[in-house]
């Protein structure tokens, strides 16, 4: 059963998840992670620059795929839809089959301030990469920033629901729903009008 990127990095992540769960992020050493994975510290450092990075094995590849999806999208598609379709494609081809480990990873990251801070950085970098790609495709800078940020906001809401115990709908489905909810929250014309001063 070949999975996406089934290598030492995944074994190290699985070991790190176990150890962070058992004894916390702070108290776990890189030596312990390598040992639990049946690998050497040297192998660890061949893959990761520090202890936090071991839980971000998909970040670079996800970002690359998302930007690539956007780059190949039909030019006439509005910017938010372009990003949402790219996120849906990646949800379907990469994340859905990794639901259990992704949910577990998410719980560990959320529980550890240092890991959470790294996650915020990665998300900000991804948002910037998406906005840059939209801008390259001709959208004004602010539109690109708002479309990227809005799509990532819906993605976060969907991801939170997707990793909730008992939830069975797919991430892609939940993302479509979250975009609709965001649309409702942001775009009541009566609201917008009454707000103008």
Rounded to an integer, what distance in angstroms lies between the CA atom of residue 177 and that of residue 40?
Answer: 44
- In the complex with its own copies, the residue whose CB is nearer, 34 or 115, is 115
* 175 within 8 A of 84, measured Cβ to Cβ: yes
Q: Coil, helix or strand for 50? A: coil
Show contacts with its own copies in window 151-170 (CB under 8 A). Answer: 153-154, 156-157, 160-161
Quote the distance between the C-alpha of residue 77 and its chain's center. 23
- In the complex with its own copies, the residue whose CB is nearer, 5 or 180, is 180
Rounded to an integer, what distance in angstroms lies between the CA atom of residue 64 and that of residue 119?
Answer: 17
Quote the distance between the C-alpha of residue 188 and its chain's center. 29
Position 195 contacts its own copies (CB under 8 A): yes
- In the complex with its own copies, the residue whose CB is nearer, 34 or 83, is 83
Position 14 contacts its own copies (CB under 8 A): no
**Region from 8-16, 32-40, 63-71, 180-188 binding its own copies, contact rule CB under 8 A:** 180-188
Please state the closest distance from residue 135 (CB atom) to its own copies, in A: 13
Q: Which of 57, 79, 102, 162 binds its own copies (CB under 8 A)?
A: 79
Please state the closest distance from residue 93 (CB atom) to its own copies, in A: 16
DSSP state of 15: H
């Amino acid at each position: 059963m070949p999975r996406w990127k089934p290598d030492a990095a995944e074994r190290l992540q699985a070991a790190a998840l176990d150890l962070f769960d058992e004894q916390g992020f702070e108290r776990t050493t890189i030596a312990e992670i390598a040992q639990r994975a049946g690998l050497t510290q040297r192998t660890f450092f061949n893959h990761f620059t520090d202890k936090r990075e071991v839980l971000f094995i998909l970040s670079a590849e996800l970002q690359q795929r998302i930007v690539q999806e956007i780059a190949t999208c039909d030019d006439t598609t509005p910017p938010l839809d372009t990003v949402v379709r790219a996120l849906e494609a990646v949800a379907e081809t990469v994340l859905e089959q990794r639901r259990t480990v992704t949910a577990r990873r998410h719980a560990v990251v959320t529980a550890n301030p240092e890991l959470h801070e790294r996650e915020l950085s990665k998300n900000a970098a991804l948002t910037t990469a998406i906005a840059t790609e939209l801008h390259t495709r001709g959208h004004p800078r602010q539109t690109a920033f708002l479309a990227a940020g809005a799509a990532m906001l819906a993605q976060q809401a969907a991801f939170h629901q997707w990793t909730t115990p008992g939830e069975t709908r797919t991430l892609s489905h939940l993302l479509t729903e979250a975009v609709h909810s965001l649309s409702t929250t942001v775009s009541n014309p009566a609201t917008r009008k009454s707000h103008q001063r």
